[in-house]
Amino acid sequence: MPFSAGISVRNEGLHNTTGAILASDLMEKIIATKFDDIITNFGTYSEVQGKVRDANGNFFIDPAYAKFSRSATCVEKYYVAYPSARFILAKVQVSYDGKPIVVVNRLISK
């Protein structure tokens, strides 16, 4: 039994690591987008399970990515003070087999 438990823990670690990389990649793509286009492009963005895209916009074909999905929500926030400021709160979530495994939040300023 210890052997199978070890494999289960190893697989969970691999899923979490891959999920963190996928979340980071999507967040970097959001950050690299022109501020005024972030809400339009990523306001409610999702890649369904088995249809996650690589940096070039192509679907991952490796079976290791088959159970991953990811989504992003971006909401504009205003700081009303002097001087006032505009921010976007970006949230990226990666799931494995329908279960959330990684969430990354980032406040983006203009």
Rounding to the nearest 10 degrees, give the CA dihedral for residues 29, 92, 101, 20: 30
Q: How many CB atoms lie within 10 A of CB 53?
A: 16
Please report where in the chains the tokens 């300023």 appear, as a residue. Answer: 109
> pLDDT at position 6, please?
66
This prediction has a pTM of 0.87
**28, two tokens:** 């970097």
| 60: phi then psi, degrees, rounded to nearest 5 | -65, 130
pLDDT at 69: 98
Written as tens digits, the pLDDT of the chain (110 aa) is: 465 666 677 777 789 999 999 999 999 999 999 999 999 999 999 999 999 998 888 999 999 999 999 999 999 988 777 777 889 999 999 999 999 999 999 999 98
